[in-house]
Homo-oligomer: A and B are copies of this chain.
Amino acid sequence: MYDFGEDRIRLNSLKLQGGSAVGYIEEFIEFLSIPSISALPEHKPDVAKASEWLRDRMVRAGIEDVQIIGTKGHPVVFGRKSAQTQDSSQAPTVLIYGHYDVQPVDPLNEWHSPPFEPQVRDDKIFARGASDDKGGIYPAIVAAEEVIRENSLPVNLKFLFEGEEEIGSPSLKEILDEHRDLFACDLVLSVDGGMFSREIPSITTGSRGLAAIEIEVTGPDTDVHSGSCGGVIHNPIHALAEILTGLKDSEGRILVKGFYDDVREASSAERKQFEQVPLDEEEIRNRLGVPALFGEPGYGLAERMWTRPTFDANGIWGGFQGEGTKTIIPSRAGCKVTCRLVPDQDPETICKLLEDHIKRLVPTGVRVSVRVFPGNSKPYVIPECHPVLPVMEQVLEELFGREPIIVRLGGTLPIAAAFLDILGTYLFFFAMSGPDTNVHGPNEFIRIDDLDRLRRGLKMFWSRYADSYARG
């Protein structure tokens, strides 16, 4: 059973039923079917198609001034609607932020159903982007549509849906800067993110930043015979392994000189807040399927997730990867690395430190190059005294039946810092998907209940926020 809008409909009869809930599910599935992978050039037309789908849907929802704003990369979709229940000049303006691009899908063979052929199984919809972030965007449009139809919109709404979040939002700063007036608002509400769990609501007061590099090690001009050259030259794979172990030690400490210099240690108040977060290490271990958790000695799990930086290889390659054996020393080996950053680390400084440290680690007999990816992002924190926090707490308590906890996001929302820098506005996460929805991995899904919870929650928040704003 699920609850969507006014109806309660049995899931296994979804396809047979009429009514708006079925329409919503079918429509959401249509949106999910567009493979809008922003990282892969061959999917550029699909990203464009998703932006057009979104535009058309927003227009149908009664949102006004809907437009696709071109960038150097993938476009932004904008729309707005003025408050209906009061003079719009007296109402606060809420900008809904989300992204319609999705992560690549490999390893494809680990998906139980094709990533862009959404499947409803039990109470879940499986597809790439189901949770991150089409399942954030879609309920926001439905919520707006419902309130607009009832002529009861209490705030000025703006929508900014981007198509480059999964590649680090390279164009968004420029777009915000060029259209400051269009995007001006009192508050950014991000429907990208998630709750601590399905039972325990959470307010996310910060996110980690991101710095991304690629390391390439080159040995001989071509792959060479491992018999005639073994013992004669350095092997780029081994050289790369040496570099990686020279960048992070076997206990998880990052060895890059100066890397921790700007890290703001958690205050005792923050540590206390984090201690209240009911993290179940055994549950996490089992859910991820690892024999043991792992991380920087001297820090608890919450701190390692939220207030400590990371250094993780995201991919590695070199030489022969086919079936059987091939007795070569490869010409090249490479890897992609991303670091999650925390206040007050600066991504550009970190990339420079990485480059400098890698230069010092170059082994004899190979050449090493470092490429810095664009789309780096600063870490982000909301001040503890921000006036929207009590409103958010109230709404979440009503929605979940219990007080929210204060957490941070281990991941990165590249534009949180950009909104603050350019529009002077803090971004609040307001997203309902659970932590188990396989975002970025195979078999990503969203629960139908969570789509609905977001729809209801947004309507509630707009109303409470308008009241709070009116009271001053």
Contacts and interface: CB of A to CB of B under 8 A. Distances in A.
From A221, A225, A227, A289, residue with most partner B Cβ within 10 Å:
A227
Contacts of A412: 227, 327
A235 to B, nearest CB: 5
A310 to B, nearest CB: 4
A103 B412 CA distance: 44
Interface residues of A, number: 99
Contacts of A107: 223, 331
Contacts of A227: 207-208, 340, 409-412
A230 B106 contact: no
Interface string A302-328: 001100101011111111111111111
A451 interface: no
Contact of A229 (B234, B288, B328): B288
A322 B237 contact: no
A41 interface: yes
Contact of A329 (B212, B225, B314, B443): B314
A173 interface: no
Contacts of A336: 319-320, 325-326
Interface in A266-314: 284, 288-296, 301, 304-305, 308, 310, 312-314
From A110, A252, A308, A327, residue with most partner B Cβ within 10 Å:
A327
A222 interface: yes
Interface in A116-135: none
A194 to B, nearest CB: 9
B366 A290 contact: yes
A440 B304 CA distance: 46
A79 interface: no
A103 B233 CA distance: 21
Interface stretch (A152-160, A238-246, A421-429, A459-467): A238-246
A241 B231 contact: no
B325 A291 contact: no
B338 A234 contact: no
B242 A245 contact: yes
A40 B412 CA distance: 42
A187 interface: no
Contact of A410 (B207, B228, B294, B296): B228
17 contacts: A110-B222, A222-B442, A223-B441, A226-B310, A226-B340, A232-B301, A233-B293, A235-B312, A237-B244, A238-B244, A238-B312, A241-B245, A314-B327, A316-B317, A317-B321, A324-B373, A325-B375
Given A106-B322, A233-B290, A314-B330, 11 more contacts: A39-B326, A107-B331, A220-B288, A221-B289, A224-B288, A224-B441, A225-B411, A226-B314, A227-B409, A325-B336, A326-B336
Interface of A: 39-41, 103-104, 106-107, 110, 167-168, 207-208, 210, 212, 219-235, 237-238, 240-242, 244-245, 248, 250, 252, 284, 288-296, 301, 304-305, 308, 310, 312-331, 333, 335-336, 338, 340, 363-367, 373, 375, 409-412, 435, 438-443
